[in-house]
Amino acid sequence: EAQVTQNPRYLITVTGKKLTVTCSQNMNHEYMSWYRQDPGLGLRQIYYSMNVEVTDKGDVPEGYKVSRKEKRNFPLILESPSPNQTSLYFCASISSQGAGQETQYFGPGTRLLVL
Amino acid sequence: AQSVTQPDIHITVSEGASLELRCNYSYGATPYLFWYVQSPGQGLQLLLKYFSGDTLVQGIKGFEAEFKRSQSSFNLRKPSVHWSDAAEYFCAVLGMEYGNKLVFGAGTILRVKS
């Protein structure tokens, strides 16, 4: 079954304690992305990756890092989490670049609370 | 830069009534448009998408959407709403020249009265 998985699904942490949210896809997609969802703001892109070792900032990258060492995995790293990073996070992968039938497949979400 | 506006934050309809959720986009080229639904505590599910061709797009769960270039709109419709349709709905536009970024509207929360 084609899917995007995220772990953990729920996380409570304290300010300053480094954490990593993992994301993995089994569809051999080149393009992956991280979003955060906040009430009244919809989803906003944090970082994206167009291929292995190719990453770039989205709209709200401050306080986050990513890596793309292999095609299937795209972890989101919070080096020093702060309360304003409390949010619902979604990982997504997309089938291809360029004109065509691109569709973004979303993971189930990770709900993060930073105290 | 592309943007998406969903003018209605909340909408309440009676079960069995028709539904229309509004979406307006701003984008320089031909847009790729999507509607997603998110039930409480759940992830995002794709309802339908528009890339080109027929401007009336059919989706899952009985939803449809119509692309109107002259109005920069992509409104979602359903002829008869069911209580299980209560959820939050997001319209999104895909910007190919912006790193395949999906830009989302703020969402519309649908409540269904029995």
- pLDDT, tens digit (0-9, with 9 covering 90-100), for B42-92: 888 889 999 888 899 999 999 999 999 999 999 999 999 999 999 999 999
pLDDT at B13: 97
Q: Which residues contact B100 (CB under 8 A, 6 or more apart)?
A: A31, A33, A48, A50, A94, A97, A102, B94
Band (pLDDT 50/70/90 cuts) for residue B96 is low
Residues of chain B contacting A, Cβ within 8 Å: 4, 9, 32, 34, 36, 42-44, 46, 49, 51, 90, 92, 94, 96, 99-107
pLDDT at A78: 97
The C-alpha of A100 sits at a distance from chain B's nearest C-alpha, in angstroms, of 8
The C-alpha of A54 sits at a distance from chain B's nearest C-alpha, in angstroms, of 11
For chain A, the average pLDDT equals 91
Measure CB to CB from residue A102 to each of B32, B42, B107 and give the nearest one. Answer: B32
Band (pLDDT 50/70/90 cuts) for residue B99 is low
Are residues B44 and A98, on separate chains, in Cβ contact within 8 Å?
Answer: no
Q: Name the residue with higher pLDDT: A66 or B103.
A: A66
Tens digit of pLDDT at every position of chain A (115 positions): 778 999 999 999 999 999 999 999 999 998 899 999 998 888 999 999 988 999 999 989 999 999 999 999 999 999 999 999 999 999 999 876 555 456 778 999 999 999 9
The β-bridge relationship of strands B108-113 and B10-14 is parallel
Are residues A31 and B100, on separate chains, in Cβ contact within 8 Å?
Answer: yes
Cα B112 off chain centre by: 17
Q: Residues A111, A87, A109, B41: is their CA dihedral positive or negative?
A: positive
The C-alpha of A32 sits at a distance from chain B's nearest C-alpha, in angstroms, of 9
